[in-house]
Chains A and B, each alone.
Chain A
Amino acid sequence: MIKGFELLKTNHAGAMLLKSGLTTNYGVISVNDRKLLYFTGKGLREIWSPNLTSPEKERASSLRKIIEAEKNEENLKTSALKADGYIDEIDLDEIERVIF
């Protein structure tokens, strides 16, 4: 059982420590028994951050439109957002601990 696993709920953002020793931000999109689909730090910063400048807001708005269009999680996994590093998917086994 991963320490802090109960924090991994849809729409919750936080930070987790991976078994590789890396600490990363996450914003949960979905979680199941084996995998976690989440917004990365980049995604949270550029799409969801409340402190965006006007040009950043425009970009964030266009990215949100992509998210809205890809209603299906499976589509999100294969979307350009994942390729650009806004979204990532990870095996739960790779998580050492959910810090918060």
Chain B
Amino acid sequence: MRIFSKDEEKILIRLDELAGTKKQQELGEINPVNLYSLIQLKLNDAGFVVDISNNKVTVTFEKNLPQKSARLGELQLIIVQSVNLLKLLEDKGYIYTFKKDISLDLIPFGKYNFETPSSPYTFSDKRIVDLVIKYSTEEIYPTLELNHFVKTDNFQTRESARFNKQYKRTTAALSVAMAALVVNIVFNVYTNFFKSLFKRGENKGKATLQIENKNYDSSKNKPKFDKPKLLIEDSFPMDSLTRENAKNKKP
């Protein structure tokens, strides 16, 4: 399905309303709708004639109607929109149509007795004329799918609504994941920063202690090992000769 204009949405709402309430539709009590009931609100000052035998659709106004061309444009638009919309809905299965045995070859609709009628405007687009004649002689039955489309899904197809729902959920999930990631990064940066700060403070303390210890030893002017010779003698077992040699070498 495509995107609908506000006017088209109004037509869809009207189509659904004319078909009856949801409850009525569920019970199968669908009111048949026709093209004229869709456009009648716009036709209050115009006369509309569908000549089935001559394949002709004409619109007439009062001759002295102000802004006649604008009004004609408005009417053309509503008719073209309505028939194209009905065709689309029928193709997509939102409505079904039923050709009644209407034995009328000329279908007038709207105002008929003009004091001074304007020269009738005839639709020249054959495709539009065919569609107008088709939906003029057929009864339209909206389905529950149309009701769901208009009322529940807000003019979105089921697929589109499902996709949008999925998209929103995925976006929400991604947002949560992103938020968690950001929190994690911030937490890690914060923790590491304070850890390093603390470590630096600790090292600084250690270094001070070392310096203090060093100062303490040097202040006494005492070598750490005052008897190296004895230490050697005590530590290593030496034979007598080696010991003698060692004594002789002594200054």
Contact = CB atoms under 8 A, between A and B. Distances in A.
B47 to A, nearest CB: 7
B106 A11 contact: no
Contact of A48 (B31, B36, B102, B108): B108
Is chain A's interface secondary structure helix, strand, loop, or mixed overall? mixed
B102 A50 contact: no
A64 B49 CA distance: 19
A51 B40 contact: no
A92 interface: no
Interface in B114-169: 114, 117, 119-120
B112 A99 contact: no
Contacts of A13: 47, 108-112
Contacts of B100: 23
B103 A23 contact: yes
Nearest to B36: A100
Interface string B18-37: 00000000000001001111
Nearest to B54: A51
Nearest to A98: B37
B71 interface: no
B58 interface: yes
A25 B107 contact: yes
Interface residues of B, number: 29
Given A11-B111, A100-B40, A100-B109, A51 B49 contact: yes
A4 B104 CA distance: 19
A25 B103 contact: no
Interface residues on A, range: 20 to 34
B60 interface: yes
B106 A25 contact: yes
Given A50-B117, A51-B51, A51-B120, A15 B110 contact: no
B113 A11 contact: yes
Interface in A25-65: 25, 27, 39, 41, 44-45, 48-51
Contacts of B87: none
B104 A49 contact: no
A39 B113 CA distance: 10
A87 B107 CA distance: 17
Looking at A11, A22, A23, A48, the one whose CB has the most chain B CB atoms below 10 A away is A48
5 contacts: A15-B107, A44-B106, A50-B49, A50-B119, A51-B58
Interface of A: 3-4, 7, 11-15, 22-25, 27, 39, 41, 44-45, 48-51, 99-100
Interface of B: 31, 34-37, 40, 47, 49, 51, 56, 58, 60, 100-104, 106-114, 117, 119-120
Return the 4 tightest CB-CB contacts between A and B, nearest first.
Answer: A100-B36, A50-B120, A13-B112, A13-B108
